[in-house]
Structures are given as C-alpha cells and as structure tokens.
Amino acid sequence: MKINEDFFKQDAITVARELLGKVIVRTWDDGTESQYLVTETEAYYGEEDLACHASKGRTPRTEIMYAVGGHVYVYLIYGMYWMLNFVTGSKDHPEAVLIRGINHIKGSGKVGRELKIDKSFYGENLNLSARLRIEAGIAVTDFEVAPRVGIDYAGEIWKNKPWRFIAKFLQ
C-alpha cells in the first residue's frame, strides 16, 4: 500500500524516524521489482544545520532540497558512491533524510549500489516515479537514536544532534 503523499511534508527528523520499517520498492528496467525494508536513516535539517549540504545555500546540487517533500536527492560522494536521500518538509525549507541501511545492507554507499542509484534519480518525484516508491511496511517502535556519521566538520552543536535512527529488529 502506498503511503500518504503528505508523509514527506513532515519535518526531516519525524520522517527519518517514521521511515524505519517502511518499504522502498525498486522497479527495474525489465519490470521486475525488489523490496527493501528501511532499517537506518539520518536527518539533515535546514541551512542552519552545518552538516546539511544546504548550509552553503542554494546551489545547483542542493536546489532540490528546497522543493516540497517527496522528491529524491542524490549526490556522489568520494567519487564513487551515490547517496540516496528523500527531500522532506515544506517548499523553500531545505531538509532531507539519508537512507543509511536497508534489509541486511548497512552503509549508505552500499544502499546506493544495491538500488542502482545514479545521477538520473536526482529530482525524481516519489509520487510519480516508475522506478522508486515507498510503501507502508511494518511498525517499528523499537529503535536506537545516535549522532550522525562522518560530519566532524559540522561543529559540536550539529555533530552531536541525535538525528540518526536505527531500527532494532533484524540487527
């Protein structure tokens, strides 16, 4: 079952938590589908969040984060890994949720590789996409909260925000 299309209009922290246990459905070029349960996420919230790419303002790369929730934000990191994010919140307020883990797969770089994410997914609308959609999955009430990973440059305040969510099942 498809989720409410207003789901991604909530703030990034809420969406990151609620995304645990949801299902990412990937439709491949040959028409077959694969389903992945979301197990780990991170929230990036607003220009004031120094760990958020939008903290440097609107650029061609971050532009999509300023769109209303429900769009896909992807970017290349370390020249080899495509990171999958979902834009959240309202128009003109940059927020996104990074998918760090699905099923048994841990590590956001591996998530992008498993789902065959690339530049062409940038800006995709989840409510219209033929390749990617989110469906209601199982309720996750047992999860861990932790600081985000790999953002030492963001300074004490932002670096320590407990905006990483890890589902406790299947660990």
Q: Interface residues with DNA (CB under 7 A)?
A: 42, 44, 51-53, 56, 59-62, 75-81, 83, 85, 96, 98, 106-111, 148-151, 153
Minimum distance from CB of 93 to DNA (Å)?
A: 14
Separation between Cα atoms, residue 76 and residue 148, nearest integer Å:
18
CB–CB of 73/122 below 8 Å? Answer: yes
Cα dist from 111 to 5, 84, 105, 114, whole Å: 23, 8, 7, 5
Minimum distance from CB of 110 to DNA (Å)?
A: 5
Minimum distance from CB of 108 to DNA (Å)?
A: 5
Find the radius of gyration of the CA atoms of the chain. Answer: 15
Separation between Cα atoms, residue 51 and residue 123, nearest integer Å:
21
In the bound state with DNA, the residue whose beta carbon lies nearer, of 56 and 104, is 56
In the bound state with DNA, the residue whose beta carbon lies nearer, of 27 and 50, is 50
In the bound state with DNA, the residue whose beta carbon lies nearer, of 75 and 143, is 75
Measured CA angle at 127 (ends 162, 31), to 5 deg = 110
In the bound state with DNA, the residue whose beta carbon lies nearer, of 112 and 137, is 112
Minimum distance from CB of 4 to DNA (Å)?
A: 23
